Amino acid sequence: MTSPILTECKEGVFRIEICRPDKKNALTTAMYTALADALDLAEQDAAARVIVIHGQPGMFTAGNDLGDFLANPPLQDEPPPPVFRFLNTFSTLKKPFIAAVSGVAVGVGTTLLLHCDLVYAGASARFQLPFVSLGLCPEAASSLLLPALAGHARAAEMLLLCEPFDAAKAREAGLVNAILPDEDVIEHAMTQARKLAALPTASVKLTKQMLKSAQQELIAKTMQTEVKHFKERLVSPEAKEAFAAFFDKRKPDFSPFNQ
Ligand code: COA
């Protein structure tokens, strides 16, 4: 079977494609392992100077596979479950990390953008942070980075109400560098990546480190706290109801738990 995570390294750019279109690129445990492995490889490979992640025109990722969350919740401490290994890996990358996003960008499909250095969005991009509506809580340090980027009011709206938002709103909030036609967004990200790959690598890495260093410790600490709560919430009755409702194609009913 072809892996849904495809990689290629060319002209200094390590490209990662999420490719599970029949499930809107929802991420399974095996895909998280493949993504974390790909990022580790890109960090170690001297030929890779910039990392680009994308899906297909019209589809980035629908976030965590909800069936996997139900059947296989990532609860263990050691070794870290693949989903948390992936979050840790992208939050500590030393090489520039660029995302090309169009269509659905749900859950980690949006939170990972907070760790990217450049983000390009297709006109159809539709972002969503549905953690609360799934009975969960924020992850990937989004509870820290989103208010820092967008201000409390916008972050609270996105993280509490969980409503989808478009590329213009994402750009206004500071999540996105530029909006392009869907069919151009991946090539634009690759062009920017090749430009970056041609610049002096040591200066590029040093500058990324300087941009990130003030927050790095706080990000790690926030992620630890989020992971603790996230694991508890994953097995909560509210989350079980939300996951079941998704697959039953109905609205969840949280009223029994809101007494
Ligand atoms: N986990 C598992 N399967 C998923 C999925 C997910 N996160 N997102 C989509 N799928 C599956 C659907 O079940 C459907 O499968 P089926 O064809 O076997 O029924 C298929 O992908 C297509 O999804 P569909 O819902 O029909 O597409 P859509 O364009 O109407 O809506 C989304 C796309 C992403 C808005 C919608 O699928 C969705 O809300 N998904 C859940 C997102 C989510 O909550 N992610 C977790 C974040 S922590």
Mean pLDDT calculated for residue range 149-159: 98
CA of 135 to the centre of ligand 1 (A): 17
Instruction: Examine residue 47 and state whether it is found in any structural domain, yes or no.
Output: yes
The predicted structure's pLDDT at residue 3: 84
Mean per-residue pLDDT over the chain, rounded: 97
Instruction: Examine residue 192 and state whether it is found in any structural domain, yes or no.
Output: no
64 lines ligand 1 (CB under 6 A): yes
Instruction: Examine residue 251 and state whether it is found in any structural domain, yes or no.
Output: no
CA of 127 to the centre of ligand 1 (A): 13
Instruction: Examine residue 194 and state whether it is found in any structural domain, yes or no.
Output: no
Q: Could you give the percent of the chain with pLDDT greater than 70?
A: 99
Q: How confident is the model at residue 259 (pLDDT cuts 50, 70, 90)?
A: confident
Instruction: Examine residue 73 and state whether it is found in any structural domain, yes or no.
Output: yes
* pLDDT tens readout for residues 98-132: 999 999 999 999 999 999 999 999 999 999 999 99
The predicted structure's pLDDT at residue 1: 54
135 lines ligand 1 (CB under 6 A): no
CA of 245 to the centre of ligand 1 (A): 12
Q: Are 128 and 110 in contact (CB under 8 A)?
A: yes
Instruction: Examine residue 177 and state whether it is found in any structural domain, yes or no.
Output: yes
Q: Counting beta carbons within 10 angstroms of the beta carbon of residue 205, is it exposed (0 to 12), middle (13 to 18) or buried (19 or more)?
A: middle
CA of 220 to the centre of ligand 1 (A): 30
Q: Counting beta carbons within 10 angstroms of the beta carbon of residue 127, is it exposed (0 to 12), middle (13 to 18) or buried (19 or more)?
A: buried
Mean pLDDT calculated for residue range 72-85: 95
Mean pLDDT calculated for residue range 140-166: 98
Instruction: Examine residue 256 and state whether it is found in any structural domain, yes or no.
Output: no
Residue 65 has pLDDT above 80, yes or no: yes
Q: Are 105 and 59 in contact (CB under 8 A)?
A: no
Q: Are 124 and 209 in contact (CB under 8 A)?
A: no
**Which CATH number does the domain housing residue 165 bear?**
3.90.226.10
Residue 145 has pLDDT above 70, yes or no: yes
Instruction: Examine residue 236 and state whether it is found in any structural domain, yes or no.
Output: no
Distance CA 153, CA 18 (A): 32
Which residue's CA lies nearest to atom 41 of ligand 1? 62
Query: How many domains does the chain fold into?
Result: 1
62 lines ligand 1 (CB under 6 A): yes
Residue 68 has pLDDT above 60, yes or no: yes
Residue 2 has pLDDT above 90, yes or no: no
* pLDDT tens readout for residues 178-236: 999 999 999 999 999 999 999 999 999 999 999 999 999 999 999 999 999 999 999 99
Q: Which domain holds residue 65?
A: 5-182
Mean pLDDT calculated for residue range 23-44: 98
Mean pLDDT calculated for residue range 86-91: 98
The predicted structure's pLDDT at residue 234: 96
Q: Is beta strand 118-122 parallel, antiparallel or unpaired with respect to 97-101?
A: parallel
Q: Are 16 and 7 in contact (CB under 8 A)?
A: yes
